[in-house]
Amino acid sequence: MANYFSILLVVLTLATGLIWLLDSLYFAPKRRAKVAQAIGSGSSSSAIDPPAELPYLVDTAQQIFPVIAFVLVLRSFLYEPFQIPSGSMMPTLLVGDFILVEKFAYGIKDPVFRSKMIETGEPQRGDVVVFKYPEDTNIDYIKRVVGLPGDTVIYQNKQIYIKPKCQGLQQSECPKLTPVPAEFQARGEFVQDMAPLLRYTEKLGDVSHDILRHPMRDVHPSNYYTQPGTRSNEWVVPEGQYFVLGDNRDNSRDSRFWGFVPDDNLVGKAVAIWISFEFERGPDSWLPSWVPTGVRFSRVGGIH
């Protein structure tokens, strides 16, 4: 749906721009010549006005072209708004959060075919990224980057282990497989399936962020995506791809289940929450489910 909107913006921008350009180069000079001819022949002002009148289609194109062009540039190359529809990134992002995604963080792409035109950077471990879901690129997903190209990632007993890519070093000098630090913070702030979730602070590289773990739910490794040549809970990230996880670890469908995110699928980096609506209501509420019940101003700000 997002890509269809991008195509619509491009089409409208081109159409209104071409109408304006064609009128400026061809029809406007004819109108001016007709006005000059009318003045030279001594016609009354009432006879001059109709030829000078700007056609409705051209006037509309001139009015909306700058607006549409501005929206196209802003949305395609700078920042695009997204809404969080699920709890897979709790506690970092909640249902009802509206975020801004930095489109130029990982390269400038054309808005239609999404081919990269200019390299501007690569995802870092711990980044929260929006990407086209590899199994259906019409759907946008948001997760956190855990594994970079060449990394070995293991997820066992709710603990992440990472062995960074080893390049240009002797085997004995390569980094070892090490657990990602996770420190317990609280229990019960969030509840899922009648169970109080455990909140931990995890450190991925230089990025510290909070995650949630379900005290009882645990996915069996046989349900994970199996990569040839590795164990059922181990993944070696291919070049040009990334391994991503949701912060709500036991309620997220991510790379553990469907594999890796290709660089071509990246949309951008989630950098800020610009507004956050609350939708919680009692069973006797008469309001439609899409009507907010409050605004969480305290959540407005940067994403970590």
DSSP 162-188: EE----SS-GGGSPPPEEPPEEEEEEE
**Burial (Cβ within 10 Å: 0-12, 13-18, ≥19) of residue 84:** buried
Amino acid identity, residue 186? Answer: A
Residue with tokens 């540039």: 73
Q: Which residues participate in catalysis according to the annotation?
A: 88, 143
In single-letter form, the type of residue at position 153 comes to V
The Cα 123–Cα 102 span in angstroms is 12
Element containing residue 271 per DSSP (H, E) = strand 266-278
For residue 214, give every residue at least 6 positions away whose Cβ sits within 8 Å of its Cβ, in sequence order, or none: 192, 193, 195, 197, 198, 249, 250, 251
